[in-house]
Amino acid sequence: MELYQLRSFVAVAEVGHLTRAAERLHVSQPAVSAQIKALEDELDLALFERTSSGMVLTAAGSRLLADAQKVLIAAQALRNEAKALKGQVAGKVRVGTMTDPGVIRIGEFLNSTVERHPLLQVELHHEITGVAFDKVLSRELDASFYYGDLEHPEVSRMRLRQTRYRLAAPAAWSERVDNADWSDIALLPWIITPSISTHHKLMRTLFDKHGIEPVKVVEADQESVISSLVVSGVGLSLIREELALEKVAAGEVCLWKDVRLETTVWFIYLLERSDDPVIRALLGVLRDIWKLPGLAAGPVVPEISLQG
């Protein structure tokens, strides 16, 4: 059997669909189907049941899945060791980004990576936080910046910083919101992000704590767009504290009460790639940029603090 057959087997088992597995592996759907068929023929076992909704593991497939995953992890470890023996980190790495580039110090990150590892090509992909997390899991991204709380046993992380959000309204609404309570605030237009984003989850935490549900909602998917919409008088929203304070000083927004939500900015990657020279190279760069004491690794754990 071949490693590419095992990769197809694991991918189909994880997503339950030939087409989505082919997209993950960047090959054609017929190629994945043929590889599964060849593996089943070699093992003389049916690994999947074909249904109208997708591919479902048979009992034999379920038993063999963990072993196939172990083989792929061992093969990756062998590649990692070979790269380390060569003494140079090379290749292409896909990194997800989010929020304001200054918050995650992306310029310093790229400059330091290029200087230290000139053979490593960094490809940046700006994503919504939840999408970035999913793409790390599906291996469409090698790693990503991320903020918020989310647990998954296959994902490791490095803590970079804490960040705080404040509830901001257009400056022209100052008198309107000064004496408002939560029920009044719920009647005003709110600007929120798509449900897959961490920003949305922070908003939901706020709503649930105070038992409110906004009547009017405008959706935007980028922090810069959200802050512009608040300044323009469209609605109120959570804005990162340093940005919110800048806009307060400029007379563009006002802050409602002392509402603060804190969360953590992480750099995330698959746990199985902890010893990958490429991932360790990126972690080393980040550790020095952020003056971190060591390579903090482990499962992503929830961490959120809410005031107000």
**pLDDT higher at 220 or 303:** 220
Question: Is the pLDDT higher at 207 or at 53?
Answer: 207
Residue 239's pLDDT is 95
Task: Identify the pLDDT of residue 236.
Answer: 95
Q: Are residues 275 and 145 in the same domain?
A: yes
What integer is the mean pLDDT of 217-245? 92
191 strand-pairing partners: 218
Domain count, the chain: 3
Same domain for 181 and 241, yes or no, is yes
Taking residues 268-273, what's their average pLDDT? 93
- Per 3-state DSSP, the chain is made up of helix, strand and coil in percentages (nearest 5) of 45, 25, 25
pLDDT the model gives residue 152:
87
Q: What average pLDDT does the segment 79-107 reach?
A: 82
Higher pLDDT, 48 or 298: 48
Q: Indicate if 119 and 95 belong to the same structural domain.
A: yes
In this structure, are 146 and 283 located in the same domain? yes
**Helix boundaries (H) for the chain:** 3-15, 18-25, 29-43, 59-86, 106-116, 129-137, 174-178, 182-186, 198-210, 223-231, 241-249, 277-289
Q: Of 45, 67, 86, which residue constitutes the final position of a domain?
A: 86
Range of the domain at 136: 91-161+264-307
pLDDT-derived band at 297 (thresholds 50, 70, 90) equals: very low
Contact 93, 282 (CB under 8 A): yes
In this structure, the answer to whether residues 44 and 182 fall within a common structural domain is no
pTM beyond 0.75, yes or no: no
Task: Note whether 171 and 240 are same-domain residues.
Answer: yes
The pLDDT assigned to 294 comes to 60
Confidence of residue 304 (pLDDT cuts 50, 70, 90): very low
Q: What is the pLDDT confidence band of residue 265, given thresholds at 50, 70 and 90?
A: very high
Same domain, 134 and 254: no
Which residue, 41, 67, 86, sits at the end of a domain? 86
Whichever domain contains 143, its CATH number is 3.40.190.10
Query: Where is average pLDDT lowest: 23-27, 145-149, 174-178?
Result: 23-27
User: pLDDT digits over 57-87, tens only?
Assistant: 999 999 999 999 889 888 877 876 776 666 6
| pLDDT for residue 140 is more than 60 | yes
* Predicted local confidence at residue 303, as pLDDT: 40
Residue 299: pLDDT band with limits 50, 70, 90: very low
pLDDT at 296 over 80: no
Last residue of a domain, one of 57, 86, 115: 86
Burial class (CB in 10 A: 0-12, 13-18, 19+), 15: middle
In this structure, the answer to whether residues 155 and 170 fall within a common structural domain is no
The arithmetic mean of pLDDT across residues 186-199, rounded, is 92
Let me know whether 154 and 270 are in one domain.
yes
Q: Check whether residue 113 and residue 140 sit in a common domain.
A: yes
- pLDDT digit string, tens, across residues 151-174: 788 999 999 999 999 999 999 999
Looking at the fold, whether 209 and 186 belong to one and the same domain comes out as yes
Same domain, residue pair 228 and 202: yes
